[in-house]
């Protein structure tokens, strides 16, 4: 049976990642390290055959995808359906602020209750449905080929769970590193995991290498 190969990449680092501040749908740009990570990922994928790059339209993902598009020559397509989970009134808050201001809601969030959503936000069930449908729509257009998906930590988490059969409430035992390379295989039956969390391109050099 024919399949579509998928390279899934979380955007590079932002200042809000460092601050453990929930970004959600807020449009936060990459920091200096994030731009470097995007460039390293682009270099690592330069020789990959890529039919198309599908990316969240938020800046942190779009700029990461732009670096990969430049190195691979593949067309870049923005999609709101690849955005991070919407966290509603939680967005812009640090983890510590959430615990202090909304302890009960924060507890439900940390418990990963599938049908619970932050005020004005999106549940994990809704997120999984959105990502599953979006990946199917894009991957089905490229049977026998390879595409790149550039998105967010919550999206990467859902992809891993879909590919491995992990429940939404299962504790996470896998990494969601910025700009690491994750590989999956899509068929009409669903996703399977090929490789996860490849960070060799981020370890071979340092941010300050070659700088005066």
45, 35, 110, 31: which is closest to 74 by C-alpha? 45
With contact defined as beta carbons under 8 Å apart, do 37 and 17 qualify? no
How is 111-158 classified by DSSP, letter by letter?
TT-TT---TTS--HHHHHHHHHHHHHHHHGGGTTSEEEEEE-HHHHHH
Question: What is the DSSP code (8-state) at residue 211?
Answer: -
Q: Which residues contact 203 (CB under 8 A, 6 or more apart)?
A: none
The interaxial angle of helices 153-164 and 124-139, nearest 10 deg, is: 80
Active site residue 84: yes
Active site residue 25: no
Catalytic, out of 13, 84, 91, 122? 84
Q: Which residues are catalytic?
A: 11, 84
């Amino acid at each position: 049976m024919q399949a579509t190969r998928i390279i899934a990449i979380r955007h590079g680092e932002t200042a809000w990642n460092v601050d453990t501040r929930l970004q959600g749908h807020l449009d936060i740009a990459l920091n200096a390290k994030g731009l470097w990570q995007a460039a390293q990922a682009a270099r690592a994928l330069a020789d990959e055959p890529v039919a198309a790059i599908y990316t969240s339209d938020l800046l942190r993902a779009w700029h990461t995808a732009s670096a990969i598009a430049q190195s691979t020559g593949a067309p870049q397509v923005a999609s709101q359906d690849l955005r991070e989970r919407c966290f509603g009134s939680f967005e812009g808050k640090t983890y510590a602020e959430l615990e202090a201001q909304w302890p009960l809601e924060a507890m439900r969030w940390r418990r990963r209750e599938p049908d619970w959503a932050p005020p004005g936000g999106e549940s994990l069930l809704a997120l999984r449905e959105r990502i599953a449908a979006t990946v199917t729509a894009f991957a089905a257009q490229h049977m026998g080929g390879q595409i790149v998906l550039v998105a967010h930590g919550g999206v990467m988490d859902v992809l891993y769970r879909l590919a491995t059969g992990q429940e939404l409430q299962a504790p996470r035992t896998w990494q969601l590193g910025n700009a690491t390379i994750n590989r999956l295989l899509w068929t009409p039956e669903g996703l399977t995991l090929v490789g996860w969390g490849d960070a060799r391109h981020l370890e071979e050099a340092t941010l300050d290498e070659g700088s005066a």
